[in-house]
Amino acid sequence: MDVVRLNMSHSGPDQMRAASAAVRASAAAVGKPIAVMVDLQGAKIRVGQLAKPIQLETGDRVVLVPQAETAGGEIPITYVDLAADLEPGNRMLLNDGQIELRVRGIRGSRIEAEVVIGGKVTSGRGINLPGARIAAPALMEKDLIDLEAALAIEADYVALSFVRSADNVRDLRRHLPEDALILSKIEKDLALQDLAGILEASDAVMVARGDLGSELPFEQVPLVQKRIVRDANDRYRPVVIATEMLESMINQLRPTRAEVSDVANSILDGTDAVMLAAETAIGHHPVQAVQALSRVIAQVESESVFLVDGPPYDVPASQSERGPISTEVAVASATLKAAQAVRAPAIVTYTRSGFTARVVSSRRPPVPILAVTDSERVQRQLSLVWGVLPVLCRGELKEETMATTARSELLARGLAQAGDRIVVTAGLPFHVRGTTNMVRIETL
Tell me, letter by letter, the H, E, C secondary structure of 172-222.
HHCCCCCCCEEEEEECCHHHHHCHHHHHHHCCEEEEEHHHHHHHCCHHHHH
Mean pLDDT, the chain, as a whole number? 91
Q: Is 38 exposed, middle or buried (0-12, 13-18, 19+ CB in 10 A)?
A: buried
DSSP string covering 328-343: HHHHHHHHHHHHHHTT
User: Which segment of 149-153, 207-211, 266-270, 304-308 scores lowest on mean pLDDT?
Assistant: 304-308
CATH superfamily of 45-128: PK beta-barrel domain-like (2.40.33.10)
Separation between Cα atoms, residue 295 and residue 297, nearest integer Å:
5
Separation between Cα atoms, residue 416 and residue 418, nearest integer Å:
7
Residue-level pLDDT at 72: 82
CA triplet 377, 203, 194: central angle to 5 degrees? 165
CATH class of residue range 3-42+137-243 = alpha beta
Q: Which tens digit of pLDDT belongs to each residue from 282-323?
A: 999 999 999 999 999 999 888 544 445 556 666 655 555 555
Threshold 0.85, pTM exceeds = yes
Residue-level pLDDT at 326: 79
Residue-level pLDDT at 333: 85
CATH of domain 327-443: 3.40.1380.20
Q: What one-character DSSP code corresponds to residue 117?
A: E
Separation between Cα atoms, residue 418 and residue 180, nearest integer Å:
37
Q: What are the boundaries of each domain within the chain?
A: 3-42+137-243, 45-128, 327-443
Residue-level length of the chain: 444
SS3 content of the chain, % helix, strand, coil (to 5): 35, 25, 40
Band of pLDDT at residue 361, cut at 50, 70 and 90: very high
